[in-house]
Amino acid sequence: MNVELTRLSSGLTVVTETMPHLESVALGVWIKSGSRNETEDEHGIAHLLEHMAFKGTSRRSARDIAEEIENVGGELNAATSTETTSYYARVLKDHVPLAVDILADILTESEFDEEELRREKHVILQEIGAANDTPDDVIFDKFSEAAFRGQTIGRPILGTPETVKGFTPAQIRNYLSRNYTTDRMFVVAAGAVDHAAFCKQVEERFAKLPRTPSAPPVFDTARYIGGDVREDRDLMDAQVLLGFEGKAYHMRDFYCSQILANILGGGMSSRLFQEVREHRGLCYSVYAFHWGFSDTGIFGIHAATSGNELPNLVPVVIDELRKASESIDQQEIDRARAQIRAQLLMGQESPAARAGQIARQMMLYGRPIPNPEMMERLAGITTQRLTDLAGRLFFDTVPTLSAVGPIEQLAPMSDITAALSTPGFETKKAAG
């Protein structure tokens, strides 16, 4: 890896990876703060701030920001997640100083104009409405709300119409001053970038960033609860998400959980895809995933099918979970490792993917993780560890289920919970 790291005197961390065969650079600012760092009355403000950063500064109007980056053929965007926020650009190597200048401008000089705020609230209200009309989005929001009921980590990132409508510029500035500080921010670039020159540009343009927060950042320890949430809708297909508490990034079983998710539902050769879709034809989409957070995680199985297939689908999925707790082949582990290795290496061929990967590693582990070290962590995973983990994940914890669509024939939660706690138990098929 041609990775270089510098911690500036301001406390800001700068990391670059030089990819000399490229003509472009992907760069951005990643903040270790997201929707989980909101107070009770700030639901949705992290996402609103991300939008408002592009709506004008003391030096540039919203149109200026868009035109200046696009005049040189560049791209500019941002994203908000549960625990992080990012602002990033992609430009040709000659225009890196411009991209740094614009990113610094929107993060240190945004004005949060009242009229711009009014318009952007309206845009986000439409975004919330669109998400509510999309079953794929609804099911994950409802799942998080049930899994972490009554907690910030379980709230939808977009907020609600009521909270978004009420935000003021002062509230946005308060969240900003509490969370956007140099000790929580990482500036990363990958591609045709010179580390020394990039550090100098960042040091000059980001000098106004505060070093310490105006108040301690908000962060409540997650408490996985589990439960059942269903919404009967007149749709063509039923969306079902069955999940369990996963592992945090720093836990011993985190990488083991990633491998297990890959074996169960990580591709066309996975157990769920082969058994549920290919062999039985019970659905058109089924996959497993594992999401890690700083102090908890989610292991889930998502399927989309017709309402009539639900009585057959759920027992088959649970049976596959039970089989995973009893036996896993070494060949399956090797295949999962090969897929993860390929993803890592393919990601290194994209400067944008590589910059994001480095930023995530910095926020999670405080340093870039070399690929050989990453693969070494996966090398110690055995069949016994995986079956033991599957038994603990699926049959020793409280499940969470969310379902949207024509779900009248979905088994009661009591039957599903019993099937996940009693060996050989099958969920009862609903009548019809």
pLDDT band, residue 294 (cuts 50/70/90): very high
The answer to whether residue 53 is domain-embedded is yes
In tens, the pLDDT along 213-234 reads: 988 888 889 999 999 999 999 9
My answer on whether 254 and 364 are in the same domain is: yes
My answer on whether 177 and 236 are in the same domain is: no
Q: Tell me if 106 sits within 8 A of 57, measured CB to CB.
A: yes
Count the helix, strand and coil residues of the chain and give each as a percent rounded to the nearest 5.
50, 20, 35
In tens, the pLDDT along 410-430 reads: 999 999 999 998 654 444 443
Angle at 169 between CA 167 and CA 175, to 5 degrees: 80
My answer on whether 296 and 191 are in the same domain is: no
My answer on whether 200 and 341 are in the same domain is: no
d(Cα 147, Cα 139) in Å, to the nearest integer? Answer: 12
The answer to whether residue 221 is domain-embedded is no
Nearest to 391 by CA among 333, 332, 324: 324
My answer on whether 126 and 233 are in the same domain is: no
My answer on whether 201 and 245 are in the same domain is: no
Domain end residue (candidates: 205, 237, 270): 205
In tens, the pLDDT along 331-340 reads: 999 999 999 8
Q: What is the pLDDT of residue 429?
A: 42
Sign of CA dihedral 244, 249, 253, 256: positive
d(Cα 188, Cα 17) in Å, to the nearest integer? Answer: 8
| φ, ψ dihedrals at 308, nearest 5° | -70, -20
Q: What is the pLDDT of residue 1?
A: 61
Question: CA-based diameter of the chain, in Å?
Answer: 69
**Number of domains the chain is built from:** 2
Known catalytic residues are 50
Model pTM? Answer: 0.92
| φ, ψ dihedrals at 188, nearest 5° | -130, 140
Q: What residues pair up with 30 in beta bridges, in sequence order?
A: 86, 186
Task: Tell me: pLDDT of 269 over 70.
Answer: yes
The answer to whether residue 213 is domain-embedded is no
The answer to whether residue 112 is domain-embedded is yes
CATH number at residue 77: 3.30.830.10
Q: What residues pair up with 401 in beta bridges, in sequence order?
A: 228, 242
Domain end residue (candidates: 205, 238, 269): 205
Q: Tell me if 43 sits within 8 A of 244, measured CB to CB.
A: no
In tens, the pLDDT along 36-71 reads: 999 999 999 999 999 999 999 999 999 999 999 999
Task: Tell me: pLDDT of 299 over 90.
Answer: yes
Q: Tell me if 50 sits within 8 A of 127, measured CB to CB.
A: no
Six-digit token pair at 290?
């594992």
My answer on whether 246 and 144 are in the same domain is: no
My answer on whether 377 and 314 are in the same domain is: yes
My answer on whether 256 and 350 are in the same domain is: yes
Question: What's the domain range around 351?
Answer: 227-419
In tens, the pLDDT along 62-99 reads: 999 999 999 999 999 999 999 999 999 999 999 999 99
My answer on whether 188 and 333 are in the same domain is: no
My answer on whether 49 and 185 are in the same domain is: yes
Residue 368 CB contacts under 8 Å (≥ 6 apart), including other chains: 1, 3, 5, 15, 358, 361, 362
The answer to whether residue 190 is domain-embedded is yes
Q: What is the pLDDT of residue 422?
A: 60
Angle at 306 between CA 302 and CA 312, to 5 degrees: 75
The answer to whether residue 429 is domain-embedded is no
Q: What is the pLDDT of residue 425?
A: 45
Domain end residue (candidates: 205, 240, 265): 205
Q: Tell me if 37 sits within 8 A of 95, measured CB to CB.
A: no
Strand ranges (E), 199-321? 227-232, 238-245, 285-292, 297-305
My answer on whether 200 and 253 are in the same domain is: no
In tens, the pLDDT along 112-138 reads: 999 999 999 999 999 999 999 999 899
The answer to whether residue 430 is domain-embedded is no
Sign of CA dihedral 224, 356, 177, 158: negative
The answer to whether residue 218 is domain-embedded is no
